[in-house]
Amino acid sequence: MPSEKIVAFCRSKGWWHDDPAPGYRDALLALGIEPRSDFGQFYLHAEDGPTFYARGRELYQICWFFLHAGYAANMERMRAALRMAETYLPLDGFEGESGFFYDKVNGSVLALGLGDDLRNFHAGKATPRWADFNAFIEWFFELEA
Please state, in angstroms and rounded to a whole number, the distance separating the CA atoms of residues 25 and 8. Answer: 22
What pLDDT does 96 receive?
77
Residue 20 is given by DSSP the state P
Report which residue type is found at 128. Answer: P
What pLDDT does 145 receive?
64
Contact (CB, 8 A) for 68 and 82: no
Residue 145 lies in a domain: no
Residue 121 lies in a domain: yes
Please state, in angstroms and rounded to a whole number, the distance separating the CA atoms of residues 11 and 23. Answer: 22
How many structural domains are present in the chain? 1
Residue 8 lies in a domain: yes
Residue 56 lies in a domain: yes
Phi/psi class of residue 107: alpha, beta or left (left: φ > 0; alpha: ψ in -120 to 50)? Answer: left
Q: Which domain holds residue 9?
A: 4-140
- Count the alpha carbons within 13 Å of 144 in the hemisphere toward its beta carbon: 7
**37: how many CB neighbours lie within 10 A of its CB?**
18
Read off the CATH number of the domain in which 40 is found.
3.40.1580
pTM of the model: 0.94
Residue 54 lies in a domain: yes
Residue 108 lies in a domain: yes
Within its chain, how far is the Cα of 15 from the centroid?
Answer: 16
Q: What is the pLDDT along the chain (145 residues), one digit of tens a residue?
A: 899 999 999 999 999 999 999 999 999 999 999 999 999 999 999 999 999 999 999 999 999 999 999 999 999 999 999 999 999 999 999 887 899 999 999 999 999 999 999 999 999 998 999 999 999 999 999 997 6
